[in-house]
Amino acid sequence: MTVSIRSLCLAGSLALLAACQGQSADDNLADLDARLTNGADNVAAANEAEDANAAIAMAAAGGRIEKAPAAVETKAVAPQGRSVGDLVRQQASGQGANGAAPQGDCAKDVKTGPEWADRMPQAFRVYPGGKLVEAAGIDKERCTLRIISFTTSAGIDPVLDYYFTQAKRAGYDAEHLVSGGEHQLGGTNKDGAYVVFARRAGALTEVDIVANAN
């Protein structure tokens, strides 16, 4: 926490000095104290929220989260910035490594809407505290895809560990690939398949998940 407060002081020092010009010494100190206190409170609140989300993830995973397999370097996984439609088409054509089985012309009838996030298999729903960006899916004979895209303040490793644990509990196997900072965790069980794509984008982790509905 000391480092965080010090960083806030350094980052804001020039702005604080400029704002204090023409004020009394007491006013300067009061203004500085208020700004630093608010900044520290914001950092503390963010840390508490992240800790709370991690605790929720732990509870959802049955009280214990296992480490995902070590990543294997590969030449290419899904490129960054893929849209939900692109992800659907990739999985429907069977291009994903260890991903969903081919499902013919499944992708052309996919529907988008936030309600599809609630129809994801339980193991692959939005990470606790994550912010849903887009969701899509389709329910037809031999064509039951689910897709979500979201962001989270959690790092890539906690996210992949969480989904690996959830997938393992649901009877899926797993393979972990990485290429140029883009991670892919995918696997199958007797009923279907899943693939999780994750990458860092500034202070956030961007995540896309494609799965068969059970």
Whether residue 143 contacts residue 104, with contact meaning beta carbons closer than 8 Å, is answered with yes
Query: Which stretches of 38-144 are assigned E, i.e. beta strand?
Result: 72-73, 111-112, 131-137
Single-letter amino acid code for the residue at 70: A
Whether residue 187 contacts residue 173, with contact meaning beta carbons closer than 8 Å, is answered with yes
- CA distances to 9, 88, 105, 139, 145 from 110, in Å: 50, 8, 10, 9, 8
Q: What is the pLDDT along the chain (214 residues), one digit of tens a residue?
A: 333 322 222 223 223 223 333 444 455 556 545 555 555 555 555 566 567 777 877 777 777 899 999 999 987 665 454 555 455 545 544 444 344 444 456 667 789 999 999 999 999 999 999 999 999 998 887 788 899 999 999 999 999 999 999 999 999 999 999 998 899 999 998 888 999 999 999 999 999 999 988 6
pTM of the model: 0.68
